[in-house]
């Protein structure tokens, strides 16, 4: 009989907490919020704000903010797939824009980490504003694990008792 998978962030799975983006300054600045996490899964929301508009005529959010949203959700999905927290660095993130996002709407990124090796993790995800079955962007990404010896700021979110089990 195999032992069940242990997750370093398992105690945080479920609805997002207010402090889950506090470890990333740009996510905090953009107002991103973690909606939900689970094993290898992250759902992150970028609230609509007029200063994020990239096309003033159509009032569409700037593509860089959308890429940042997908990158943030991707890194969190990787962290949610790990048994022991390690530093995570984006190696490659491909974003395909399928259509323009609807103007004046909050945006969501749902990303899953589908494979973790010793040094690399792989993700795929979507961005949507209405429903996940109608995405306006998709992504595929590769992330390096253990990118720097200082560890990860996400560790502040995990209670000490949970760290000892990892």
pLDDT band at 99 (very low <50, low <70, confident <90, very high): very high
Q: How many domains would you assign to the chain?
A: 1
Judge whether residue 29 has pLDDT over 70. yes
Note whether residue 33 is domain-resident.
Answer: yes
Q: Is residue 97 part of a domain?
A: yes
Specify the residue for token string 């609230």.
Answer: 47
Which one, of 120, 15, 45, 125, lies nearest residue 77 by Cα? Answer: 125
Tell me the residue range of the domain where 120 lies.
10-165
CATH of the domain at 38: 3.10.129.10
Q: With bands split at pLDDT 50, 70 and 90, how would you rate the model's confidence at 158?
A: low
Report residue 95 as tokens.
């974003």
Whether residue 62 is contained in a domain is answered as yes
Enter the pTM of the model. Answer: 0.89
Question: Is residue 69 in some structural domain?
Answer: yes
Residue 17 tokens, joined: 């907490």
For 4, the token pair is 């069940």
Mean pLDDT calculated for residue range 38-55? 94
pLDDT tens digits along 60-72: 898 999 999 999 9
pLDDT (mean) for 10-38? 91
Q: How far is CA 72 from the centre of its chain?
A: 4
Q: Is residue 71 part of a domain?
A: yes
Q: Could you tell me if residue 109 is inside a domain?
A: yes
Residue 166 has pLDDT above 60, yes or no: no
Please indicate, yes or no, if residue 5 is contained in any of the structural domains.
no
- What percent of the chain stands above pLDDT 90? 71
Give 120 or 4, the one with higher predicted confidence.
120
**Are 93 and 70 contacting, i.e. CB atoms less than 8 angstroms apart?**
yes
d(CA 26, CA 68): 8
């Amino acid at each position: 009989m195999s032992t069940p998978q242990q997750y370093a962030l398992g105690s945080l799975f479920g609805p997002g907490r207010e402090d889950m983006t506090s470890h990333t300054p740009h996510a905090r600045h953009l107002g991103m919020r973690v909606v939900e996490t689970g094993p290898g899964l992250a759902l992150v929301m970028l609230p609509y704000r007029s200063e994020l508009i990239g096309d003033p005529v159509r009032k569409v959010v700037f593509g860089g903010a959308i890429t940042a949203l997908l990158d943030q959700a991707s890194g969190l999905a990787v962290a949610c797939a790990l048994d022991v927290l390690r530093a995570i660095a984006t190696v490659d993130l491909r974003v395909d824009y399928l259509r323009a996002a609807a103007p004046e709407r909050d945006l969501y990124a749902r990303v899953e980490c589908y494979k973790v090796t010793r040094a690399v993790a792989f993700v795929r995800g979507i961005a949507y504003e209405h429903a996940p079955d109608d995405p306006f962007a998709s992504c595929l990404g590769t992330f390096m694990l253990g990118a720097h010896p200082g560890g990860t700021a996400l560790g502040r979110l995990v209670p000490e008792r949970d760290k000892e089990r990892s």
